[in-house]
Chains A and B, each alone.
Chain A
């Protein structure tokens, strides 16, 4: 390795890049943990772990990708460590697990067809929406509107990319229950994004 490539491989630890990346890390952690304090701690730990293990960076991946991998692993460790309590506290009871599941049924009529007001419309240019800060503010809001246990399963699946078998095992729920919860999460999130964002955009 030449000097130049060795230099290029060290993480950019200047104040500006840390501030910018910390913002995105906080969004990710908050969405998963639903607790600002815990999210701040997790991001802090990830940043410190990254700074002390900068040698393992070695330019193998983009700085941000590397940072997010560290954060993801921290959150997965946290979830694995605390899943027993979560399970006992608020997920094991099947009545709690089913709470909030029926509310999405109102989207459909008695024959299981979309109510006219809830029928999904055409969304204009989602890629362009992704480029706007305001879209992500709405996305945060819609995630927060999901019942907590539904959001937890959804973020474990979509943000941490755990497979359903592991999610079932960690939370002590059945595979079919897991599928139903993910389905409800998608129904709720989609509905909220359409009402609060895309409806105004598309017309």
Chain B
């Protein structure tokens, strides 16, 4: 199996919200993000996108002008 690159890692991090990843996928993702600050940030940013969606669904988007 080839080394996971950033393109593959970002795709898996997105699919994590849609399906259960296999153990193999989870492990190679973990190895990749441990070494790659960009992808580790990317994973956190996807959580921020999730939180933003939750705010929009609740109508909680009226902030300080």
Residues of A within 8 A of B (CB): 20-21, 23-25, 27-28, 31, 64-65, 67-68, 72, 105, 108, 111-114, 119-123, 126-127, 130-133, 135-136, 139, 158-159, 161, 164, 178-180, 182-183, 186-187, 189-190, 193-194
B27 at the interface (CB under 8 A from A): no
How many angstroms between the C-alpha atoms of A25 and B59 in the bound complex? Answer: 7
Chain A nearest CB, measured from B65 CB (Å): 5
Query: Which residues of chain B are within 8 angstroms of A24 by Cβ–Cβ distance?
Result: 59-62
How many angstroms between the C-alpha atoms of A25 and B65 in the bound complex? Answer: 18
- The list of the 8 closest CB pairs from A to B, nearest first, reads A112-B5, A112-B7, A119-B38, A24-B59, A120-B41, A183-B14, A158-B53, A131-B63
Q: State whether A120 and B5 are in contact (beta carbons under 8 Å apart), knowing that A27-B56, A183-B10 are contacts in the complex.
A: no
Majority SS at the chain A contact face: helix
Majority SS at the chain B contact face: helix
Q: How many residues of chain B have a CB within 8 Å of chain A?
A: 36
How many angstroms between the C-alpha atoms of A190 and B45 in the bound complex? Answer: 7
Determine whether the beta carbon of B58 is less than 8 Å from that of A64: yes
**Quick one: which of A65, A67, A121, A126 contacts B48, CB cutoff 8 A?**
A126
- Which of A113, A159, A193 has the largest number of chain B CB atoms within 10 A? A113
How many angstroms between the C-alpha atoms of A132 and B51 in the bound complex? Answer: 15
Q: State whether A133 and B62 are in contact (beta carbons under 8 Å apart), knowing that A72-B57, A108-B7, A120-B39 are contacts in the complex.
A: yes
| B40 to chain A: closest residue by CB | A120
Determine whether the beta carbon of B55 is less than 8 Å from that of A130: yes
